[in-house]
Structure 1
Amino acid sequence: MTRISLVGPNDGEIALTGPIQLRILEDGRTTGHRLGLGEIVVAPHTAGPPQHRHAQHDEGFYVVRGTVRFTVGEESLDAPAGTLVMVPPGAPHTFANPGEEAAVILNTFTPDLYVEYFRDLRAFAAKAGRQATGDEVVEIMARYHTEPATTYADDEPMTEAGTEGRTTDVRLGNGPVVRVDDRGSGRPVLLLHGGAGPASVAGLAARLAARGTRVLTPVIPGFDGTPDAEGVADVAGLARIFRQLLGELGVRDVLVAGNSVGGWIAAQMGVDEQAARDAGAPSAHRVGRLALLDAVGITVDGHPVTDISAKPPNQLADFVFHDPDRFRMDPSLLPPERLAAMQGNAVALNRYAGDPYMHDPALLARLGSVRLPVTVAWGESDGIVDLAYGRAYAAAFAGEHDEGAKFAIVREAGHQPQLEQPDRVADLVLGHAVLA
């Protein structure tokens, strides 16, 4: 039975110190992770974080003392004590204290996950011996589906591909249109999301870009309200689309990384790449290397893919995460547009990978033809595809010099290791980590 929580005036968890102090009053454990609550104290003449917007949670600010200046886009509002400001997903905002006295704000998060952002800021400061600034703050924000912005998400214009941190719609010849986030510069990486949608790899994309790569993150057609790809009904078809996308963008020898179904697509792209090389086809050498993160797609005797399609929403985190309580979400608290997007994603996922469920019976044998460098990384607590399944996946590849794929276990992580151990996963994807 959950007990009531009583946090005294000198209690709570200190997450931020300095000109902006934050005390966590409720981290979600009492509220079933429906609500997180913090107290912010802003010193006089202090600016807040860069203006930003959240994709997956509402944020509230109740001014307890002083006057706080909120900025939304190009507009500013001075909010005296007693004022409540509610910020829905997609709305740009920041705050500052222009006054002569400290300002006190009661800060709410629904659901509660953004509490972890402040803990990550604290961890950064403890490790670096200073507070995070500039791009460091932006990178930490990205872990929680938050990005710098001065416009509403609905008003964001489409821009040319290749502009850092921008999104564009790319038409593939006379075929489908694929929406692509393009950020960073350097060696190209194609980052493929799974059934959880593109937000599940946004933080990893930011980390990879910060490590000197150009990260291309396409949206699987049909996800997040994007148009379906006519005539494409399986993962093999998606692999062809994304190989065509690489050609359309003029990039070669790309590192293709993917999580879950995205890993399956990446594996199929590897099969197709090897076939193109063996045939001396003009489309050869679009893919140079693979990194699979808890991929589905193969059949392993005695280790089936767990069917989570019929599981209650409040139980999904138990199969996906090593620390499920940190990520548990109550769908009834999500805004209607977010629920509609999630339902649309489920429909799209079922179209591509629902029959047979999350596998291609012929894929395992085909992986033996792939002579590319391959890294297979697996969360130790994956409740959808277990470690034995992951080891079988790695063993199936011929790999560079017939050495097979490199296999790494990601400790304290589940089916989406990029969310629970993002730095470790970024290093594994880029080949900078010691395999263990």
Structure 2
Amino acid sequence: MPRIAIVGPEAGEIVLTGPIQLRILEDGSTTGHRLGLGEIVVAPHTAGPPQHRHAQHDEGFYVVRGTVRFTVGEESHDAPAGSLVMVPPGAPHTFANPGDEPAVVLNTFTPDLYVQYFRDLRAFAEQAGRPPQGGEITEIMARYHTEPATTYAGDDTPAAEPRTTDVQVGDVAVRLEERGTGRPVLLLHGGAGPASVAGLATLLAARGTRVLTPVIPGFDGTPAAGDVADVPGLARLFRQLLGALGVSDVLVAGNSVGGWIAAQMGVDEQAARDTGDASAHRVGRLVLLDAVGITVDGHPITDLSAVPPDKLPDLVFHSPDRFRVDPSLLPPERLTAMQGNAAALNRYAGDPYMHDPALRARLEAVRLPVRVLWGESDGVAGLSYGRAYAAAFAGENDEGAEFTVVREAGHQPQLEQPERVADLVLGRGITG
């Protein structure tokens, strides 16, 4: 017989305390993860989170007591007790209690994806001794396909809202998220998947750029790309993607394996320019964030596939406790997605692991503007490896690539120092 759940008034799971309290009444375990349910209590005269939007779940708010002010883009609506507010994916929103008494709201998530977000907030606060702030919240949101809403178009659609399409490139359908307008930026994720660069994509779009974020085939449940089985193949695929989109002089930025792909795209771009190939000038400049791919004697790349999950944050982050997640608390869907991403990464990792022995010598021919950014605490590929990477490039004036250390960051500096990294990606000497 199917199991039912009964949650009493003093039961449930408390995940948020303080001026905004959240009690999880249904975490999806009874509903097959089709529905999550929480009770929110908002103290008088308390504002909610910054406006944000979800990409993969609907959210509902039923006001049980008090009056809640919902802000959607640039409009506000006061909802008294008995009101229901439904928020579809992509809609910017936040809430506040403008009244003199606590407001009580029944909060729904369909599917239950966002329940784990609140657990991650609680885990961060317990480990750090304080609630997450700013870019820390952005990173946690990104794990659940959610991002801040910063600007809005005239039709109340946020300018930075991701627009997802499948772009046909030869025989491959490339999943592409696009944000913002302006000069194009191709942003390539690493082995942590598209969510690891979603927050950076939002910040870059808010700074007046058109951010193109493709999903590496095989990640996030996308199909593998047929004969594309290595990084040079991915580099060719993404240069062809730029041609299919009709863009040129693109700033290509990538993290980790994404940086490796970006470096190879630079090699291919230089070859096209040197030979007068019709595909020349699709790539204008490169930004590599803790890239892998070259061989540096005495500085091997850590094989993360052999590292226990609970030890990964120690190698990847400057402040690892901010990013520890108990796998036993993750919903099955996220665990499956993580396993799929790991399998996709291994498809492209090469042999030896994360190295192309010929790449470093080929970088000497690249005369594009290049900036190499490196987290000071990268335990996957250390600072000496990063300096060797920068020195391998010829650069615009045969002076190599510009090398910048990102303080208080590790292998994914865009997660620990998002605002700083966004400024560096678009900094002087890169956008020229």
| Structure 1 residue 390 corresponds to structure 2 residue 391 | no
TM-score, normalised on structure 1? 0.73
Determine the C-alpha separation between the residues in 2 that align with 1:43 and 1:52.
Answer: 24
Shift of 1:109: 1.7
| Structure 1 residue 322 corresponds to structure 2 residue 331 | no
List per-residue Cα deviations over 1:193-237 (Å, max 9, x = no partner).
000000000011011111111100000000000111000110000
Determine the C-alpha separation between the residues in 2 that align with 1:399 and 1:48.
Answer: 44
Q: Which moved more, 1:251-260 or 1:101-110?
A: 101-110
Determine the C-alpha separation between the residues in 1 that align with 2:62 and 2:314.
Answer: 34
Determine the C-alpha separation between the residues in 1 that align with 2:331 and 2:90.
Answer: 11
| Structure 1 residue 109 corresponds to structure 2 residue 122 | no
Hey, what does 2:133 align to over in structure 1? 120
| Structure 1 residue 282 corresponds to structure 2 residue 278 | yes
List per-residue Cα deviations over 1:256-312 (Å, max 9, x = no partner).
000000000000000000000000000000000000000000110000001111211
Determine the C-alpha separation between the residues in 2 that align with 1:23 and 1:237.
Answer: 49
Tell me, what secondary structure is at the counterpart of 1:272?
helix
Tell me, what secondary structure is at the counterpart of 2:304?
coil
Runs of 5+ unmatched residues, structure 2: 1-15, 23-38, 73-78, 107-114, 150-158
User: Is the contact made by 1:179 and 1:226 (CA closer than 8 Å) also made in structure 2?
Assistant: yes
Correspondence 1:4-403 to 2 at 5 A: 21-22=19-20, 41-43=42-44, 50=51, 52-53=53-54, 66-67=65-66, 95=95, 97=97, 101-103=101-103, 109-112=118-121, 119-120=132-133, 145-147=145-147, 165-172=162-169, 174-403=170-399
Matched pairs, number: 371
Residue 386 to residue 206, structure 1, CA distance change in 2 (3 Å)? same
TM-score, normalised on structure 2? 0.74
Shift of 1:114: 7.2
Residue 199 to residue 250, structure 1, CA distance change in 2 (3 Å)? same
Determine the C-alpha separation between the residues in 2 that align with 1:245 and 1:168.
Answer: 12
Shift of 1:175: 1.5
Shift of 1:148: 6.6
List per-residue Cα deviations over 1:60-86 (Å, max 9, x = no partner).
9999x9457699x9xx99589xxxxxx
User: Is the contact made by 1:49 and 1:94 (CA closer than 8 Å) also made in structure 2?
Assistant: yes
Q: Identity percentage over the alignment?
A: 69
Determine the C-alpha separation between the residues in 2 that align with 1:334 and 1:77.
Answer: 35
User: Is the contact made by 1:145 and 1:203 (CA closer than 8 Å) also made in structure 2?
Assistant: no
User: Is the contact made by 1:114 and 1:144 (CA closer than 8 Å) also made in structure 2?
Assistant: no
Tell me, what secondary structure is at the counterpart of 2:118?
strand
User: Is the contact made by 2:44 and 2:98 (CA closer than 8 Å) also made in structure 1?
Assistant: no
Determine the C-alpha separation between the residues in 2 that align with 1:346 and 1:273.
Answer: 29
List per-residue Cα deviations over 1:30-71 (Å, max 9, x = no partner).
xxxxxxxx9964336978754633879xx99999x9457699
List per-residue Cα deviations over 1:359-402 (Å, max 9, x = no partner).
10100110001000000000000000000000000000000011
User: Is the contact made by 1:322 and 1:381 (CA closer than 8 Å) also made in structure 2?
Assistant: yes
Letter of the 2:43 counterpart:
V
Shift of 1:97: 4.5
Residue 54 to residue 110, structure 1, CA distance change in 2 (3 Å)? farther
User: Is the contact made by 1:195 and 1:261 (CA closer than 8 Å) also made in structure 2?
Assistant: yes
Residue 118 to residue 250, structure 1, CA distance change in 2 (3 Å)? farther
